[in-house]
Structure 1
């Protein structure tokens, strides 16, 4: 039987399973059997095996049997509405589902064993049929493997024959999940009005999320990405609800007064993780007319209020862009996208039925931040790119999931820029991904883009691949390749790759061959030779240039300065100087090698990796560093904007790796007092955050805070008139920096800022429903006002969070509640994450991580997740471990973390925990070596400010 789920207090009564549900189950079984097996003669149920079966394959399915088609019927026994009946003490809700499936497969190698996946399902093998002979085969035994393989093994009396066509029919039962896995239950509220009263009623829906290995939780299947097949789904659901799936409805029929059946058209051949369905009372908004019929589904209130209007419009633009850019049509004539109240990832690219968290799709004019449109557009662009990269052309195995996620991330830059050119955020998106990848890839516990297949076998290991390496590094490596071969050759190669391998599974070399063929000119290096370095090796290099001698060498960049690595890369280097244009060279040796191009003339600086097109860091001799920093302080516009940010990032991270003195990194922030552009400020604030995390519990923090207050003062004043009057700049980049100015100024206790947020929040509290704070500024003002306030401000924010029906507003308030400095309030807030009535399960991890970012909440959060690990490990456990341990910098914390790893079932957080241990070890050493130097530097810089 499936694992019994633990019901939350708020749902314990509502989701109690009635004793009479067994009767409903039998009725459902009869419906299932009648539809699915009416033409079959079923054998008796075989006994469980009494002898040891043949040795099973190790973790991966054998290729002796290949599925071709599934016919699936699923019956979730849930109500979309709770109905209280007279003389019935328990509501009419249950989390039970059952169903049946027939999988048609071909035998490629003689065998009498059928292996497929099944997890937490009660399964009865019904019938194995020889489709060629139209005969029934005897099943002698079957068993579920009690290990991480999730295998269901069925033994036959005789061998299946090579090239034979067979089918396996099964009946299965399971439980609808409360943990946002496989098929899960979600709930929302609906406001109803009559002539007298306004009532708020609870509604329920079910949805699926099967990536990467949860299809086996829904029905027994060959649950590996290269086991593609056609799926035909039938869903039995309550009368009054509406079912959606990957394809359009083929037919629908009423079964009785309670149940109806919806059958969907067959899907194209696809991987099992892409199968999806929802059952709800949602309504739809149509997108503007295009070749594809696009419908956006959401709660009826959200549809009526027009909250799906922005997403519906932008989706059509992006889909049209991709069809033109790839010169290949999207696979269907329709596209459904659903805004779900609960979903574990931000979105999931199910082919033909993309699901999103509400906050990733809904936009409310006058409430949502204008900048939230950037988030919505970027997420939609990512998921639509998957309709080609992942859905039509799929990686062979999860060790190369970057072929899905890296491409979707990279292509989203192009699509967002096309759909919303006024945003001008391509550079921001690129730098965000570059730095996310750099941070994770500088650890010895990182992994290659194309990890060895044997390292990615279990579900936990597969989940560990969905990280910044696959998404962000994948995108950065593709961007570097496009810059090297030229965008035209890159795009032509991609188009040929997609057309040739449509419907297939691929490996990276399939891609490199097409890009190589698209290049017109011969080159020094083949694409496959270059990319071998960047995809099969973990990490990335730092190149060091001596502009006096022209010597240059490369080294594996690692935060752990004592680590030894012999890795080298084939590196395309772009560089410029203050007196010459753009140049290109290759570094193909460890070095040092002498390159005349890098010998600077008198007064000349050299800047390498122009616009950060290469996935590497750059270090220089001290003289060149000083010339670059002088340029930043005197006329920063001479240095490209992306490099103004990247110079800061390189300096700080080289200091963390002990390759430059930490004072050089700090000196790189001096020019910011006169800087108004967003990217340099973002880079400085993000990197100084590491210093704050390491030292905000020590005497270093006082002078550091004073320095930041002094540096940000002019930036804050640059926006002051707009901020005070709750207006914003027209330029999106400046809108981001206005928020940065408020965040840094208030957190460093600039009096004008603290007074501003306090007054604006107090004005809202006084007028209650009249919120005059600009939507762009609400998140940062809410947070800083709660931080500056006490119980009254926190409880006002909590009341607004509970009463708000707008997803964006709730998200901003949820973040603000973590900003209080009152530990007892933070402790209360942590306890709320255990109650889905207060904090939705999908928001629990990010809420705890937000609390852990707060110096007053870090230790509370660490103790809390350990005490409730069984509950929280059902979600994004890896993110939770990394978030809560970011401040760890003592031996005591390291030992606690190691004990946690050794004594806990880590699920999908094992790799993240190893990374957290490594980062803590690096932090301990770095703090020990830099404490005194930092204290001296900040005290010297702020001596005149006291």
Structure 2
């Protein structure tokens, strides 16, 4: 008998009963667990695909935690200068910053997990506390997600309860960026060393958070809809000044080396508006305003030379205009603006601390051009408009950033027209923004103003939204709506929009609803949303055709590159060219600027418009000859623009009188080392015609001058030499931030690409050094370098580039460049003979 036959019947029965009991118990536990879980109703973790090679399908933060306040304590450890005295040990410059943050949040849905953003930060300590009973919750696990979500995930042993408030404390350290994002290092050269042994080089710390860089500075809920109040303390070296979003409340010494500045709480705002600067900068006298203290900061040398005076003189006027026009006061007691040596965008609208590139804020009488004066006024007006459109009322998500940027562009025109009527900004706006928007929106690779939210998830996709469609088309659509419902009704609707959504977030439907209220208050009948949504949800613009025989009207989308009938083929190209023949009798700026802008395309494709434009501009140049030769300007502002344009067009197209004038001025400059505005306007001519001597003189001036206008003009002129070896040298200089600042790399390469001798060089160069050069404005870099592409070989190289390189935020720009190159190939093939024949006939 087998061994099993000896087990007693009793034991067997007992075993069966125990087994059944265990199974029943397990089932009961499972049922109870599921019941408890369903009652807790936890939000599941964001899930990520493990099979796709693209970005994770879930990129947004869960909505079950709502931040209310941040208390942020930050200490950049940099030295503002390096001591080089004998027998004194020079400090090692450091990029380290340390800090801690406490975010108080409200739990709206029970959960055991906290998700927020953190990037390139080392977390050293953490705690979660219930504010109801001050009990500390145990953290089970903390990890950074190794993907582009930048999620910091904190798993707790016990659940956060719905309806309660909690605080999350994190201490951390990181490194300041050298790529102009997040908290970054900037440097400049003082005119003289402060004391014996000091280097002229000075350092400062600044921030640039838009759109997704605040997570590099402290862990946060880094999405625009998650607004909060910020309590900020900055620890900085004695002798420096800390500026922030709000006015300082306390500033005291900590020891012999450090002091701290504590700022008043900010208004409720999005994380991307968080900002501070630590520097040795000084301020100009306060810009006049009856309620707000306005200060303009810059390098001490620039303040002493009064280069900030123009900005300071108009900022208060613009702010007062907006307050009266919008019937909502600026929400803070102070407004600081600062001219930074390094900043990726031209300016950034941080609430209470607006940052600018130096050339976008500083103006030197007699050196800076009139165009720069307009640019400064327009940019200040743009950033101040953001204090309402973007800061006070913010878009819900980045797919509708046009609500910020389109409004700021539109409002800036109105403000500058008010404070500087002689600039005639309404005319300039129509010319500039219409053409920019039309050029980009005639491509099938364009995008609607309101891109589907799910398509704009990664940081790269968000950055790609900051383009001409968002700014220029956004402004034009608002202008169109104002014309449709009436300016007064539109104005009233905008005021309703701002009042209803103060400190909140909105989308375009909220804007349509607000304007609809104003329409109905004025007894109008326009259905705003019905009319406007196609303009924001679709790409492109229509061509309207009217049959004058039978009165029929129809429309179709205009596309440059269309397999069916489209430029693009509705009229003979020589008809448009014939219209430019009136220029020889024209002195007004707007027609000339519009014509030159459009004729540039012919020059890019054929390089054959020089002789024609030389003939057209001759009389215009002679009209201003007496002014130009005596370095004076006419009183009429529009004519001042025309004079500048006449010099530029005449010299660039080889008019002998202009070339002679420019060469004479440049030679005189080389002798006496003086300068004036007209030397700067014509710099490129003698540099292009000259050799090593002329180029190196310009380069030495570029390195030695601290005047931003002069530096910008020189940087452009240096790209005009026809010497290939000098262009190659210049390109190599862009890889050295001591020679060419990172923020200037893209535009410098673009300047070189405009030069026929430099176009092929730049295309090879950016491919060889893409990782570095793409840290700047990669989209405009691609657009500029490929602007002459019109052959099948260039198209194939560009297509290969799009697959072989990590494009990041330049992805859409590359796709547009591919499409534009296809357009160019087709257009050249169809029009080359007739256009060349037309130009030859005009100059015979």
| TM-score (normalizing by structure 2) | 0.91
- Contact 2:186–2:341 at 8 Å: present in 1 too? yes
Deviation at 1:140, TM superposition (A): 1.0
The answer for the alignment partner of 1:331 in structure 2 is 331
- State how 1:568-607 maps to structure 2 within 5 Å: none
- Pair 1:708–1:923, CA change in 2 (3 A): same
Task: Give ranges in structure 1 of 5+ residues lacking alignment.
Answer: 1-51, 565-653
3-state secondary structure, aligned to 2:682: helix
Deviation at 1:551, TM superposition (A): 2.8
Deviation at 1:676, TM superposition (A): 1.4
Instruction: Specify which of 589, 601, 610 is matched with residue 705 of structure 1.
Output: 610
The answer for the alignment partner of 2:662 in structure 1 is 757
- Separation in 2 of the partners of 1:366 and 1:941? 39
More displaced 10-residue stretch of structure 1: 234-243 or 724-733: 724-733
- Contact 1:68–1:103 at 8 Å: present in 2 too? yes
- Contact 2:746–2:773 at 8 Å: present in 1 too? yes
More displaced 10-residue stretch of structure 1: 158-167 or 523-532: 523-532
The answer for the alignment partner of 1:885 in structure 2 is 786
- Pair 1:194–1:61, CA change in 2 (3 A): closer
Deviation at 1:100, TM superposition (A): 0.8
- Contact 1:84–1:91 at 8 Å: present in 2 too? no
- Separation in 2 of the partners of 1:530 and 1:660? 29
The answer for the alignment partner of 2:596 in structure 1 is 685
Deviation at 1:375, TM superposition (A): 1.0
Instruction: Specify which of 623, 639, 642 is matched with residue 718 of structure 1.
Output: 623
Deviation at 1:282, TM superposition (A): 1.0
- Separation in 2 of the partners of 1:348 and 1:354? 6
- Pair 1:88–1:870, CA change in 2 (3 A): farther
- Separation in 1 of the partners of 2:705 and 2:139? 57
Deviation at 1:213, TM superposition (A): 0.2
Instruction: Specify which of 922, 934, 941 is matched with residue 835 of structure 2.
Output: 934
The answer for the alignment partner of 1:621 in structure 2 is none
3-state secondary structure, aligned to 1:836: coil
3-state secondary structure, aligned to 1:371: helix
- State how 1:267-416 maps to structure 2 within 5 Å: 267-285=266-284, 286-416=286-416
The answer for the alignment partner of 2:527 in structure 1 is 526
Deviation at 1:750, TM superposition (A): 1.7
- Separation in 1 of the partners of 2:182 and 2:453? 24
- Pair 1:830–1:486, CA change in 2 (3 A): same
- Contact 1:191–1:199 at 8 Å: present in 2 too? no
The answer for the alignment partner of 1:901 in structure 2 is 802
- Contact 2:778–2:809 at 8 Å: present in 1 too? yes
- State how 1:616-655 maps to structure 2 within 5 Å: none
The answer for the alignment partner of 1:834 in structure 2 is 735
The answer for the alignment partner of 2:158 in structure 1 is 158
- Separation in 2 of the partners of 1:869 and 1:481? 42
3-state secondary structure, aligned to 1:257: coil
Deviation at 1:683, TM superposition (A): 1.4
More displaced 10-residue stretch of structure 1: 505-514 or 349-358: 505-514
- State how 1:140-179 maps to structure 2 within 5 Å: 140-179=140-179
Deviation at 1:289, TM superposition (A): 4.7
1:55 aligned to 2:47? yes
Deviation at 1:778, TM superposition (A): 3.5
Instruction: Specify which of 755, 768, 784 is matched with residue 867 of structure 1.
Output: 768
- Offset from partner CA, 1:615-651 (integer Å, 9 cap, x none): xxxxxxxxxxxxxxxxxxxxxxxxxxxxxxxxxxxxx
- Separation in 2 of the partners of 1:90 and 1:144? 37
- Offset from partner CA, 1:1-59 (integer Å, 9 cap, x none): xxxxxxxxxxxxxxxxxxxxxxxxxxxxxxxxxxxxxxxxxxxxxxxxxxx97736800
Once superposed, what is the RMSD of the aligned Cα atoms? 1.9
- Pair 1:89–1:913, CA change in 2 (3 A): farther
- Separation in 2 of the partners of 1:753 and 1:113? 70
- Separation in 1 of the partners of 2:299 and 2:408? 28
- Contact 2:489–2:522 at 8 Å: present in 1 too? no
- Pair 1:54–1:327, CA change in 2 (3 A): closer
3-state secondary structure, aligned to 1:669: helix
The alignment covers a number of residue pairs equal to 791
- State how 1:719-758 maps to structure 2 within 5 Å: 719-758=624-663
Instruction: Specify which of 802, 820, 829 is matched with residue 721 of structure 2.
Output: 820
3-state secondary structure, aligned to 2:383: helix
Deviation at 1:780, TM superposition (A): 2.9
1:670 aligned to 2:581? yes
3-state secondary structure, aligned to 1:737: helix
- Offset from partner CA, 1:295-328 (integer Å, 9 cap, x none): 1111111112211111111001000000000010
3-state secondary structure, aligned to 2:410: helix
1:558 aligned to 2:459? no
- Separation in 2 of the partners of 1:136 and 1:511? 44
3-state secondary structure, aligned to 2:417: helix
- Separation in 1 of the partners of 2:125 and 2:540? 47
- Pair 1:929–1:323, CA change in 2 (3 A): same
The answer for the alignment partner of 2:36 in structure 1 is none
- Offset from partner CA, 1:746-796 (integer Å, 9 cap, x none): 2222222211211221122222x233x4x2x34431122222222222111
The answer for the alignment partner of 1:487 in structure 2 is 487
The answer for the alignment partner of 1:451 in structure 2 is 451
Deviation at 1:869, TM superposition (A): 0.9
- Offset from partner CA, 1:482-541 (integer Å, 9 cap, x none): 111111111111111111111000011111122122125555531111111111111111
- Contact 2:46–2:62 at 8 Å: present in 1 too? no
3-state secondary structure, aligned to 1:818: helix
- Separation in 2 of the partners of 1:351 and 1:563? 49
- Contact 1:561–1:658 at 8 Å: present in 2 too? no
- Pair 1:233–1:883, CA change in 2 (3 A): same
- State how 1:914-929 maps to structure 2 within 5 Å: 914-929=815-830
3-state secondary structure, aligned to 2:267: coil
The answer for the alignment partner of 1:231 in structure 2 is 230
Task: Give ranges in structure 2 of 5+ residues lacking alignment.
Answer: 1-43, 49-56
- Offset from partner CA, 1:99-133 (integer Å, 9 cap, x none): 11111101111111111111111124510111123
- Separation in 2 of the partners of 1:240 and 1:803? 26
- Pair 1:563–1:135, CA change in 2 (3 A): farther
The answer for the alignment partner of 1:630 in structure 2 is none
- Pair 1:707–1:85, CA change in 2 (3 A): closer
Deviation at 1:835, TM superposition (A): 1.2
- Separation in 2 of the partners of 1:189 and 1:766? 25
- Contact 2:225–2:505 at 8 Å: present in 1 too? yes
- Pair 1:899–1:71, CA change in 2 (3 A): same
- Separation in 1 of the partners of 2:228 and 2:680? 46
The answer for the alignment partner of 2:30 in structure 1 is none
1:191 aligned to 2:191? yes
Deviation at 1:62, TM superposition (A): 0.6
- Contact 1:104–1:168 at 8 Å: present in 2 too? yes
Deviation at 1:90, TM superposition (A): 6.1
- Pair 1:124–1:198, CA change in 2 (3 A): closer
| TM-score (normalizing by structure 1) | 0.81
The answer for the alignment partner of 1:220 in structure 2 is 219
Deviation at 1:832, TM superposition (A): 1.0
- Contact 2:46–2:58 at 8 Å: present in 1 too? no
The answer for the alignment partner of 2:431 in structure 1 is 431
- Contact 1:83–1:92 at 8 Å: present in 2 too? no
- Pair 1:563–1:293, CA change in 2 (3 A): farther
3-state secondary structure, aligned to 2:575: helix
- Separation in 1 of the partners of 2:836 and 2:290? 61
- Contact 1:223–1:273 at 8 Å: present in 2 too? yes
More displaced 10-residue stretch of structure 1: 455-464 or 304-313: 304-313
- Pair 1:287–1:831, CA change in 2 (3 A): same
- Separation in 1 of the partners of 2:614 and 2:843? 10
- Separation in 1 of the partners of 2:236 and 2:547? 70
- Separation in 2 of the partners of 1:661 and 1:790? 42
- Contact 1:64–1:108 at 8 Å: present in 2 too? yes
- Separation in 2 of the partners of 1:297 and 1:54? 44
Deviation at 1:376, TM superposition (A): 0.8
* Larger Rg over CA atoms: 2
